[in-house]
Structure 1
Amino acid sequence: MTPFVVPADIDDVTVASGGNTYDRRMCDLLGLDKVPVAGRWPTPSTKARVALADTLAEIPDGSVALIDGLVACGVPEVVVPHTRRLKLVVLLHLQLADETGVQPERAAGLDRREREVLRAASAVVATSEWAARRAIAHHGLDPKRVRTAPPGTDPAPRAAGTDAGDQLLCLASVTQRKGHDVLAQALANLADLPWTCVCVGSVRRDPGHARRVQGLVDKLGISNKMIIAGPLPDADLDATFAKTDLLVLPSRRETFGMVITEALVRGIPVLTTNVDALPHTLGPGTSSGGMLVPADDVPALTAALRRWLTDAELRERLREAARARVVEDWPTAAKRLAGVLR
C-alpha cells in the first residue's frame, strides 16, 4: 500500500479546505495509506519536524511514497535526504509563497526551500495545467517529472435556486487570499437591491483576518445580509447549495478552485476572478456558466453582481450554460494520480 503523508488536520471539518478534500478522496479511491503528521507547514515546530522525519524513516528503501506539499515543501532538511532512497512524489496544491500576505523576505525563503524539495523529488503532481506550467517555470523543474491530476467532483442534484437570483454563496476559508474583504465592499455598494450572501468556510486558518473581515462587514452595515457562517456539516452545505443562485469566489490567487466545479456540477453559475487557474477551471466564453472579473477590483465585482441581480435574461443564460457543463468526476481524477504513482 502506497503511503500518503498528509497534514494532521486532514479530517478536521473546522479547517476544511480543497486540499484536504482532495487528499481524502485520493486515499479512499486509490486505497492509499493515509499518514497524518502533526504540525502545520510552512512553519512546523521542532516536534512536527521530528514526527515527519520518523514517519519517512519508517518507509522501506525503494518505496513509492506520496507527500502533500504543505507537509514537505517547507522542510527540505527533513525531506531531501529521504529522496535519495525513496521514490518520493510531491503533491503541490499551492506554492508556499503564493499565500497572500506573506512578506517578501519570507516568501523568498519559502521559495528557496520549496525549490530544493521539488527538484529532489522523483515527481511533482500539480492540480491544474496552469499550476504545473508555473511550477516548471518558477522553480526550473524538469517538465518530464511534473504531472497534472486535477480534482474531481461528486454527482449532485441540480440546485433549485430562486426566481429572483438573489441567494449568493461564497464557499472558501476566510483568508486574505480568498478576497472576502473585496466581496464585502462590493456587496455594500448594492444596498438598493435585495440579496443574501452566505460565506461558508473555515475561520480558523487565519483567525486574525477572519476577525477583520467580520469587523468590515459590521462597519459596512451588511452583517444581516453577508453572513460569515463558518464551516458547515455536509448535510447543511448540501442544503445551502440547493438554494444557491450564484457562487462568488473573489480569490486573489488560486491553483484550481474546486468550489467552481462543485457549483457547476449542480448547475449553479459562478462569478470569480481572472487570476491563475480560475479562467481555465471556469471554462471559456459564454458557454462557461459564469463571469470573470479582475481580482481586487471592487467596482468590477460590484458591476458584475449588479448585472446578475438585475438582468433576468443573463441569469437564465448562465444557468443554462452551467447545467450543460460536463465536469470530471473523482474516479477519473484518481486514475490520473494512479498513473503517476505507477
Structure 2
Amino acid sequence: MAGDNDVTRPTGQRIRALVINFSCYFLYPGDLDTATGGYHYDRRLIAGLRRLGLEVTTISLAATFPRPDPPTLEATARVLATLPDGATVVIDGLAFGVMDRLAAAEAKRLRLVALCHHPLALESGLDASQQRDFMHSEQSALSHTRAVVVTSEHTRQLFISRFGVSAQHITVALPGTERMPFAACDGNPLRLLTVATLTRRKAHDVLIEALATLTALPWQARFVGGSEFDPGWAAFLEQRVRELHLSERIDFVGSSDSLPSEYANADLFVLPSRFEGYGMVFAEALAAGLPVIAARAGAVPDLVPDTAGLLVAPDDTGALREALQQLLTDATLRHKLQAGARAAAAALPDWDDCARRVLQLLEQVQRLEQEQC
C-alpha cells in the first residue's frame, strides 16, 4: 500500500481510496443481481472494495450451488485452474461450502478466502443426512482457507463452536444499511410487511397460521420476495393462504425493485425466520423506523433490540399470534417501538465500514504470505 487518495461517495462525503498493490477475484454462484440478502451483500461489498481502490474481478459459477452435480464441479475446477498462482480469491459460501475437494487441491496455490453468510447445514428443510453432508463438506472446505469472513458475531461463534474454525481465522464484516426516510406508520388498516424469499427457513408458514387467527382485526399483509428458490414451497404457501380464505388479506408481491417504497408504506415489519446469519431486512426495517416482530433465532436478537421489536420463540405460532395481536391493538406500544427502531437506526453500520473491514483482512492475508516467503 503506497498511499491514498480522496474519492467522493454518492452522498457527497469523502472516503479514502487506497493505492493497493494486489487485486482479487470474487466468485459467486448464479446471477449477482439475484434478489436476496446474500447477493445484495456481495454486490455492495464488491462496489465498496472497488471504491477503496481494490481491483476486483467477478466470476459467476453455476447457479446449481450448493447442490452441484459432477460436471459443475469439474467446470468450477477449470475456472480455479485459470487463476494465476498466488491470487487472492474470495468465494461466496453458498458455493464454497461444497467445494471442499477443490479447495484442498488449490489451497497451496491460491489464497482462498470464504465469505459465509450462514452455515449451509442450518438451512431449513434438510434431513439429517443432508445436514451431515453439508456440515462435513463446509468444515473441510473452511480448513483450506487463509481466512473466513462472516456477517455477524453470532455466525462467527457458530463456526468456532460447531465447525472447529479458530477464532483468529474469522473476521466479522457487518452488512451496511442504506439510510431511508422513516415510515409514517399511520395506516388504517395496519400494513404488515414481510421481505424474504419464499423458502422454509423464512417461516412464512408460521406467519400465515398466526394471521389466520386474527381476521377480526384490521390488517393487510404484503409478502415481498421471490419464489424461484423453492417453487414447491411457494406453491404450498399460496395454497394455504387460499385454504384459510386470506387471499384478500395477504398479497404475494414477488421480488421488488422498489424496496424503499415498500418499507415507507408499511406500519409493521414481520418475519419469524427459523434462522438468520444476520438478517439484513431487519436492519432495513429499523432504518425505516418500523416496529419489528421476529423470531428469537440466529443473529436476530443481536440486531433487533427489545426497544424496537417483539421477539418470540421460533416455530411458535401461538407466541407469534400474541405478538401480532399486541401490536395490532396497542397503538401506544407501536409508537414506543417505532421510536426505538428510529433510535436503533442511528447505530447501524454503512457499506463503507463493511468494505474497509474486508479490505483490512485481505491486506493481512497478503502480509502474512509475504512474511512466510
Classify the TM-score, shorter chain.
over 0.9
Instruction: Say if 2:193 and 2:221, in contact at 8 Å, map to a contact too.
Output: yes
Task: Work out which of the residue numbers 254, 272, 280 in structure 2 matches 1:230.
Answer: 254
On the 8 A contact 1:4/1:35 being kept in 2, the answer is yes
2:133 corresponds in structure 1 to 109
| Alpha-carbon distance between aligned partners in 2 of 1:23 and 1:47, rounded to the nearest angstrom | 25
- 1:70 to 2:94 alignment: yes
Output one character per residue of 1:67-90: Cα deviation in whole Å (capped at 9) or x when no partner. Answer: 101111112122221111111100
One of 270, 279, 283 as aligned partner of 2:301: 279
CA distance, structure 2, for counterparts of residue 188 and residue 313 of structure 1: 24
**Alignment partner, residue 194 of structure 2:** 170
* Secondary structure of 2:91's aligned partner: strand
Q: Match of 1:159?
A: 183
The runs of at least 4 consecutive aligned structure 1 residues that moved more than 6 Å come to none
Whole-angstrom CA distance in 1 between matches of 2:63 and 2:71: 8
Tell me which of 7, 12, 17 is aligned to 2:36.
17
Q: How many residues align?
A: 334
Q: Secondary structure at the match of 1:338?
A: helix
Deviation sequence 1:286-328 (CA, Å, 0-9, x none): 2xx1110111111111110010010010011011111112211
On the 8 A contact 1:167/1:196 being kept in 2, the answer is yes
The alignment yields a C-alpha RMSD, in angstroms, of 1.2
Paired with 2:75 and 2:172, the residues of 1 have a C-alpha distance of: 29
Match of 2:72 in 1: 48
Matched, 1:139 2:133: no
**Equivalent of residue 240 in structure 1, options 250, 262, 274:** 262
Q: CA deviation at 1:267?
A: 1.0
2:85 is aligned with 1:61:
yes
Counterpart Cα distance in 2 of 1:9 and 1:274: 31
The match for 1:314 among 328, 333, 336 is 333
The aligned amino acid for 1:251 is S
C-alpha distance in structure 1 between counterparts of 2:249 and 2:152, whole Å:
34
Structure 2 CA distance for aligned equivalents of residues 310 and 222 of structure 1: 20
Query: Do the aligned residues in 2 keep the contact of 1:165 with 1:245 (CA within 8 Å)?
Result: no
For residues 163 and 140 of structure 1, the distance between their equivalents in structure 2, rounded to whole angstroms, comes to: 49
Alpha-carbon offset, residue 164 of structure 1: 4.3
TM-score (norm 1): 0.95
Aligned to 2:367: none
State the structure with more CA Rg.
2
1:273/1:294 contact within 8 Å kept: yes
Q: 1:124 aligns with which of 148, 151, 157?
A: 148
The reply on whether 1:335 has 2:359 as its aligned counterpart is no
1:61 Cα deviation from its structure 2 partner: 1.3
Return 5+ residue gaps in structure 1 as ranges: none
Q: 1:97-145: per-residue Cα shift (whole Å, max 9, x none)?
A: 1110101011101111111100111111111000001101111112111
**Partner residue in 2 for 1:294:** 313
Unaligned runs of 5+ residues in structure 2 are: 1-22, 51-55, 364-373
The aligned residue for residue 342 of structure 2 is: 323
* Match of residue 29 from structure 1: 48
Contact 1:68-1:90 at 8 Å conserved across structures: yes
2:14 corresponds to:
none
Corresponding residue to 1:304 among 323, 332, 353: 323
1:165 CA drift (Å): 6.8
Quick check: 2:151–2:174 contact (8 Å CA) kept in 1? yes
Task: Indicate how the Cα distance of structure 1 residues 145 and 29 shifts in structure 2: closer, same or farther if over 3 A, else same.
Answer: same
Q: Is the 8 A contact 1:165 1:315 kept in 2?
A: no
* Aligned counterparts of 1:50 and 1:27: Cα–Cα separation in 2: 26
Structure 2: how far apart are the matches of 1:39 and 1:258?
22
Q: Tell me, in whole angstroms, the C-alpha distance in 1 between the residues paired with 2:220 and 2:329.
A: 14
Matched, 1:88 2:109: no
The answer (yes or no) to whether the contact 2:189–2:218 under 8 Å persists in 1 is no
> Counterpart of 2:227?
203
Residue 369 of structure 2 aligns with which residue?
Answer: none
Secondary structure of 1:309's match?
Answer: helix
Give me the whole-angstrom Cα distance separating, in 1, the residues matched to 2:90 and 2:179.
27
Question: Could you tell me whether the CA contact under 8 Å between 1:126 and 1:132 is conserved in 2?
Answer: yes
